[in-house]
Structure 1
Amino acid sequence: MREEPTWRIPVGILALFIALMVYAIVIARYAPGLIGQWPGLAQTIVYLVLGIIWLLPLKRFLIWMETGSWSPPQEPD
């Protein structure tokens, strides 16, 4: 466990916020034009999937913020 703060945590939080804002703007800008004429249920499914996709890289990003490495620490044998 860390004993002192690192620069990665505030930088990581800002980067995450900026990335999510860019992702949200891109989705809000282009998704309605692509799926706007689809039935409501199909649109709901697409927006649910798009709302979950941003979580996929989050684990590795949080690991980097805590450890400085992009992969989880290896457990000793």
Structure 2
Amino acid sequence: MTPSWRKPVGMLAILLLIAMWCVAIASLSGVIGRWPALLQLGFYLVTGIVWIAPLKPLLRWMETGRWR
């Protein structure tokens, strides 16, 4: 079976998504740093999990070629 071009493109897209997410969250560190520790913990827990949401359709596309 011939390898698909979607897998390398998808892997690059995942790395780009992670990099963009890290930059976006890190740029908020000045504001977030002034919050109480428990609020910071909640924020970083939620944002640490939320970035996974766009991966499901991307991984599906990498495997099947379809977004849905």
TM-score, structure 1 normalization = 0.81
Structure 2: stretches of 5+ with no match in the other structure? none
Among 42, 51, 55, the alignment partner of 1:54 is: 51
Sequence identity, in percent? Answer: 49
**Residue correspondence of structure 1 range 1-77 to structure 2 within 5 A:** 3-30=1-28, 32-71=29-68
Structure 1: stretches of 5+ with no match in the other structure? 72-77
Give the structure with higher Rg (CA): 1
Q: Please identify which structure carries the higher helix content.
A: 2
Q: Which amino acid aligns with 2:33?
A: G
What's the secondary structure of 2:52's corresponding residue?
Answer: coil
Structure 1 stretches of 4+ with a deviation exceeding 2 A read none
